[in-house]
Amino acid sequence: MKIIAIANQKGGVGKTTTSINLSAGLAARGKKTLLLDLDPQANATSGLGAEASSENCMYHPLLGQARIQDKIIPSRLENLSIVPGDMDLAGVEIELAQMDDYLTRLRTILESLRESHNFDFVILDTPPSLGVLMTSALAAADEIIIPLQCEWFGLEGLAKIIHVIERIKEAQVNPNVQLEGILMTMYDARTNLSKSVVEEVSKYFPEQLYRTFIPRSIRIGEAPSYGRTIFEHDPQGAGSLSYAGFADEFINRRAGRP
């Protein structure tokens, strides 16, 4: 089981869209996948056509009042389960911050899933902040994927999150966490800006940059309003092909790794 955090403290860069469609893509390829919605906005939950739930979200497990195993529900899609988000998670930020072990609680909870061997991948969708939920996700993850919008300010945000990952490693909170990849989102091949942002990223992170770019696409933007993945919403479209390509690249990169 590998725990993958989809993270970027910058808002609106495609974290949730990537969480939903990577999870669906992995599930379609036969990988048992759990999508864990750690964002009080619960966009990953509604985008997948599931219901936000104060009862079933991570609120009680994070406070030690319930087991995550009892919060996992099947999604419409084969091989894909979800722990829904809920706005109650905003309260957990405050309550957790008062606990000494707040950073490692999520990690400990997910370790209990590892032992049950039910999942190949756990995908963490994180909120846009450097708060407790987001840092808990970084502390719990084996690997981090950073979706990066093809905009200039995106590069500044990238430097910041990489700094946070380094600090989490150095503080021995999660020394083995890997920056698995950087996924360019909302790419527009017609603009020089998109191209120069990609050039800049590939200069500093040649290994991490995924070769697949996610284009800016109206279909990708509207799919969540129908509660559908892009594969359901527009199976033949460019958005669908790009997220399928990304799921393949994600899996192929791991070939030969434990």
- Residue ranges in contact with Mg ion by CB under 5 A: 15-16, 43
181 binds, among ligand ATP, Mg ion, none (CB under 5 to 8 A by kind): none
Is residue 128 a contact point for ligand ATP (CB under 6 A)?
yes
Least Å from the CB of residue 118 to ligand ATP: 26
Closer to ligand ATP at the Cβ: 16 or 208?
A: 16
Q: Does 25 bind ligand ATP (CB under 6 A)?
A: no
CB of 123 to ligand ATP, least distance (A): 13
Interface residue with ligand ATP among 5, 26, 39, 110 (CB under 6 A) is 39
Query: Assign residue 187 a region: left if phi > 0, alpha if psi is -120 to 50, beta otherwise?
Result: beta
Are 169 and 177 within 8 A, CB to CB?
yes
- Give the residue with the Cβ less far from ligand ATP, 14 or 113: 14
Of the ranges 54-62, 189-197, 199-207, 212-220, which one interacts with ligand ATP (CB under 6 A)? 212-220
Residue whose C-alpha is closest to residue 187's, from 145, 146, 138, 242: 242
13 binds, among ligand ATP, Mg ion, none (CB under 5 to 8 A by kind): ligand ATP
SS3 content of the chain, % helix, strand, coil (to 5): 45, 15, 40
Environment class of residue 84 by beta-carbon count within 10 Å: exposed (0-12), middle (13-18) or buried (19+)? buried
CB of 95 to Mg ion, least distance (A): 22
8 Å CB contact between 250 and 211: no
HEC string for 208-222: CECCCCCECCHHHHH
Q: Which is nearer to Mg ion, 104 or 129 (CB)?
A: 129
Among 4, 5, 14, 146, binds ligand ATP (CB under 6 A): 14
Which residues, including other chains, have CB under 8 Å from residue 28's CB and lie 6 or more apart? 77, 78, 79, 231, 247
**Contact letters for ligand ATP, residues 46-85 (x by CB under 6 A):** ----------------------------------------
Cβ closest to ligand ATP, residue 25 vs residue 128: 128
Judged by beta carbon, residue 185 or residue 240, the one nearer ligand ATP is 185
DSSP 40-69: TT-HHHHHTTPPP-TTTSTHHHHTTSS-GG
| Angle (nearest 5°) at CA 242 between 241 and 248 | 90
Q: Which is nearer to ligand ATP, 113 or 136 (CB)?
A: 136
Binding site for ligand ATP (CB under 6 A): 11-17, 39, 41, 43, 128, 185-186, 214, 216-217, 220-221, 224
